[in-house]
Structure 1
Amino acid sequence: MGKRLTRYSTDTLAGLEGEAAVDALQALLEEFLPLDDARRVESIVLTEFIVAARVNPIFRPVTEQMAADMRQVITQALDVLEVPEPAEEAERLIAILGDFRNLPAPTAVPAARPMSFLYFCGYGAV
């Protein structure tokens, strides 16, 4: 995931507005979702790691760091896009992402999505 997220420097988001901003934010957030085989496997491993951390304290620092990194990336993106209260909005998106991460992955991602993730979250049509 780390390699994929490096493609989304907050510098590339600066100055984006409207549909371009929503599309860029959605592309970033989709990196956290199991939309293909690689991300599905990653999601399974991450989920198992989180479960292990609940019963074995040795894993907790790693899972806490992963959560902090995700929170930081999303908060920074929202801040650059001038979303009001980016830290609070990031928490909401992270909660929704967590719910979506636990859904079975589609066998193929449709080329045109009738309803985007961000539309569902209340960011408008894309």
Structure 2
Amino acid sequence: MPKIVDADLRRHHIVEAVFRLILREGVPSASLRKVADEAGLNVGSVRHYFANHEDLLTSAAQTIVDRISARIEAHLPRLRSEPDKRPIVEDMLAELLPLDARRRDESTIAFAFVCQSRWDPQLRPLAEQLLRGPRQLVRRILDAAQVRDRDDHVERLCALIDGLAFKAIYVPTADDASGHLRLIGKQLDHILSDR
């Protein structure tokens, strides 16, 4: 009897192999052959689940956006029901910062795609997606918190988050998490006082 394979589980397994390669060696290392080796599969199996290399990388980038989105959306019921929005908004924005190993890996992978797109034009749509995704999420957070003048606040918050994430990945220090949350908190105090 042929073995039944869960397609979603197999795709997840392959995308996780892409992530491990990028974290260890950078985006150029995530060739179909190396991904297949990392996943313990043959190249034909990878091609069965992903049309080509671009499809594989696009799926990997989308997985990062989807994971962050799901964590942020998990906070939405609290944001809608609790009167004090500030701690909830802070928790939501913290999902975009590399404050633990999982979020650090996600940020590292996203930055790797963005940086590599400078030399690889095929990666530019992925880089744009990874830059656009957090802005859309921050906009949704501020919309749910009923913040006025969202456009300016979105850009300021995203610039702060991007800078903090970049520093945490490339120039890490021991107080990153508390320092980052303090800076986000100060920006939120300004934004939410203007509601």
TM class, shorter-length: 0.7 to 0.9
Summarize deviations over 1:23-78 as a string: whole Å, max 9, x none.
11111111111111111122222212111111111001111112222111111110
Does the 8 Å contact 1:40/1:105 carry over to 2?
A: no
Distance of aligned partners of 1:4 and 1:43 in 2 relative to their CA distance in 1, 3 Å threshold: closer
Consecutive unaligned residues of structure 1, counting only runs of 5 or more, are: none
Q: Give the SS at the match of 2:110.
A: helix
Q: Give the SS at the match of 1:47.
A: helix
Structure 1 position 8 matched with structure 2 position 61: no
Larger Rg: 2
Greater helix proportion = 2
In terms of mean alpha carbon deviation, does 59-68 or 101-110 score higher? 101-110
Consecutive unaligned residues of structure 2, counting only runs of 5 or more, are: 1-63, 191-195
Residue of structure 2 in register with 1:52 after alignment? 116
RMSD across aligned positions (CA) = 2.5
Summarize deviations over 1:79-108 as a string: whole Å, max 9, x none.
121111112211100000011102216489
Structure 1 position 116 matched with structure 2 position 162: no
Normalised to the residue count of structure 2, the TM-score between the two structures is 0.53
Q: Distance in 2 between matches of 1:106 and 1:44?
A: 17
Does the 8 Å contact 1:36/1:105 carry over to 2?
A: no
Structure having greater relative contact order (Cα 8 Å, sep ≥ 6): 1
State the identity %: 24
Q: Which amino acid aligns with 2:159?
A: A
Distance of aligned partners of 1:41 and 1:92 in 2 relative to their CA distance in 1, 3 Å threshold: same
Normalised to the residue count of structure 1, the TM-score between the two structures is 0.77
Give the C-alpha shift of residue 21 in structure 1.
0.9
Q: Which amino acid aligns with 1:121?
A: Q
Does the 8 Å contact 2:97/2:165 carry over to 1?
A: yes
Q: Distance in 1 between matches of 2:182 and 2:126?
A: 31
